[in-house]
């Protein structure tokens, strides 16, 4: 409705430019769930640094693997995490109650425990339960991430290999929302000297470091594990040949190059979601578009709206392409956005729906680098 002018004068009007920029969401905020002797139980606490964690939950003497995981996260480049203490087992408590504490209960807002408490913190994008290799707990973490849609689980392999070698290493159930790491790493503990700890916290920090330095489209692999002094098991190339196709990401020690994460796969059997960075890139794009288009709800569903939506999403994906996250020499090769009368026929409009079709071509990691080398003929000319 046009403004009403009743007397002479100068009037200033604010006119909407029509564009609603879509901002990329954060991708590296971690939710840590574990047990400590100190601190509140089943209360999610925001920790922007190691000092805040120790003030709330104590240090290595109180939290063990849990504390070392959070320290490793910050030491490897992590900046933001939410911490949930589910407590330590009481004396005489049955071991089978451990999964119940991690799974928790959903008794409504403010009364959620265990993993359900993380449902109230939308900022979390990575979930870690350091050192918890119980299949029931790992399944619960994966289920939580699948339910929340835009979260990834970082899971730990057991500390010790049973008889049969690495070929018998157990693996979590199939999921495109999880990544699995082996073996445990050796670090320095101020109270006990060198000990072995699960790698998940350190790896979560590498995710955050890679996201900040390169972007979520860069696979969080071939990166130094800061603080790692050694490994529980030194994996050979032949052993990794067995593990990598199963989606078990190895951490390996290389002469003169240090200890590095040497795998970037999910635990999904679906080739489309084989690579960790592809899944995380889609998570970021999907959530960013979902959050950045909330203004569309209840707008008149016509061609004008379709053009505005297409323009805003195209502008966002253009920035993603320019950052190197999409494959293609031109934007047209990298993505497309379709929102017209073909995706929105009368029956769709009558149902109160607006349909936008988006296709993107993600950059996949150069997992296998192959150089084909042959001998040149003696005295011959170099082929052009």
Identify the pLDDT of residue 356: 96
Identify the pLDDT of residue 17: 66
> Looking at the structure, do residues 100 and 226 belong to the same domain, yes or no?
yes
Identify the pLDDT of residue 70: 98
> Looking at the structure, do residues 42 and 102 belong to the same domain, yes or no?
yes
Chosen domain end from 253, 278, 303: 278
Assigned domain for 150 exists: yes
The SS3 call for residue 122 is coil
> Looking at the structure, do residues 133 and 162 belong to the same domain, yes or no?
yes
Assigned domain for 93 exists: yes
> Looking at the structure, do residues 309 and 167 belong to the same domain, yes or no?
no
Q: How far apart are CA 256 and CA 26, in angstroms?
A: 34
> Looking at the structure, do residues 352 and 236 belong to the same domain, yes or no?
no
Task: Report yes or no: 279 and 27 within 8 Å, Cβ to Cβ.
Answer: no
Assigned domain for 34 exists: yes
Identify the pLDDT of residue 211: 97
* DSSP one-letter string for 14-63: ----S--PPPPPP---EEEEE--SSS-SS--EEESSHHHHHHHH--HHHH
> Looking at the structure, do residues 129 and 214 belong to the same domain, yes or no?
yes
Assigned domain for 46 exists: yes
Q: E strands of the chain, at which residues?
A: 30-34, 45-47, 81-85, 126-128, 152-156, 178-182, 185-189, 193-197, 223-224, 230-231, 248-254, 258-262, 335-338, 357-360
> Looking at the structure, do residues 304 and 270 belong to the same domain, yes or no?
no
> Looking at the structure, do residues 236 and 330 belong to the same domain, yes or no?
no
> Looking at the structure, do residues 247 and 303 belong to the same domain, yes or no?
no
Strands 152-156 and 178-182, by their bridges, are parallel
Identify the pLDDT of residue 18: 64
Assigned domain for 18 exists: no
Assigned domain for 5 exists: no
Task: Report yes or no: 350 and 262 within 8 Å, Cβ to Cβ.
Answer: no
Assigned domain for 70 exists: yes
Chosen domain end from 251, 278, 305: 278
CATH number of the domain that residue 265 is part of: 3.40.50.11780
The SS3 call for residue 265 is strand
Residue 277's contacts (CB-CB under 8 Å, 6 or more residues apart) are 216, 217, 218, 219, 220, 264, 362, 364, 365
Closest CA to 216 of 279, 266, 281: 281
> Looking at the structure, do residues 347 and 270 belong to the same domain, yes or no?
no
Assigned domain for 14 exists: no
Q: E strands of 126-257, at which residues?
A: 126-128, 152-156, 178-182, 185-189, 193-197, 223-224, 230-231, 248-254
Task: Report yes or no: 73 and 201 within 8 Å, Cβ to Cβ.
Answer: yes
Per the structure, the complete domain to which residue 163 belongs is given by 30-278
Domain count, the chain: 2
**Paired tokens of 380:** 């011959």
> Looking at the structure, do residues 183 and 314 belong to the same domain, yes or no?
no
- Gyration radius of the chain's alpha carbons: 25
> Looking at the structure, do residues 157 and 256 belong to the same domain, yes or no?
yes
Per-10-residue mean pLDDT, the chain, length 384: 79 75 94 95 96 96 94 97 90 72 92 95 97 96 97 97 84 97 97 96 98 96 97 94 95 97 96 96 96 95 95 96 95 95 96 96 87 80 54
């Amino acid at each position: 409705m046009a403004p009403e002018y009743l007397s002479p004068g100068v009037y200033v009007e604010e006119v909407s430019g029509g564009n609603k920029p879509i901002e990329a969401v954060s991708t590296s905020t971690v939710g840590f769930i574990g047990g400590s002797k100190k601190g509140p139980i089943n209360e999610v606490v925001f920790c922007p640094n190691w000092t805040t964690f120790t003030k709330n939950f104590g240090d290595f003497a109180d939290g063990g693997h849990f504390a070392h995981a959070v320290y490793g996260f910050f030491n490897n480049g992590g900046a933001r995490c939410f911490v949930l203490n589910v407590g330590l087992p009481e004396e005489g408590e049955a071991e089978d109650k451990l999964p119940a504490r991690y799974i928790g209960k959903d008794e409504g807002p403010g009364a959620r425990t265990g993993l359900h408490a993380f449902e109230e913190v939308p900022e979390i994008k990575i979930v870690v339960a350091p050192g918890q290799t119980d299949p029931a707990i790992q399944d619960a973490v994966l289920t939580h991430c699948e339910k929340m849609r835009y979260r990834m689980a970082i899971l730990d392999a057991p500390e010790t290999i049973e008889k049969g070698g690495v070929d018998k290493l157990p693996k979590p159930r199939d999921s495109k929302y999880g990544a699995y790491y082996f073996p445990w790493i050796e670090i320095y503990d101020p109270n006990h000297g060198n000990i072995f700890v699960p790698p998940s916290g350190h790896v979560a920090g590498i995710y955050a470091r890679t996201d900040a330095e390169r972007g979520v489209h860069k696979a969080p692999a071939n990166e130094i594990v800061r603080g790692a002094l050694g490994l529980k098991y030194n994996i050979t190339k032949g052993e990794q040949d067995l593990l990598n196709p199963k989606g078990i990401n190895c951490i390996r020690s290389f002469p003169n190059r240090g200890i590095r994460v040497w795998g970037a796969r999910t635990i999904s059997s679906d080739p489309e979601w084989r690579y960790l960075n592809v899944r995380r890139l889609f998570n970021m794009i999907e959530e960013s578009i979902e959050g950045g288009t909330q203004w569309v709800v209840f707008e008149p569903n016509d061609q004008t709206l379709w053009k505005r939506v297409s323009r805003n999403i195209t502008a966002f994906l253009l920035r993603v392409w320019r950052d190197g996250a999409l494959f293609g020499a031109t934007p047209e090769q990298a993505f497309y956005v379709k929102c017209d009368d073909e995706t929105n026929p009368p029956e769709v409009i009558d149902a109160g729906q607006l349909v936008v079709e988006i296709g993107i071509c993600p950059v996949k990691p150069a997992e296998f680098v192959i150089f084909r080398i042959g001998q040149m003929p003696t005295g011959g000319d170099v082929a052009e």
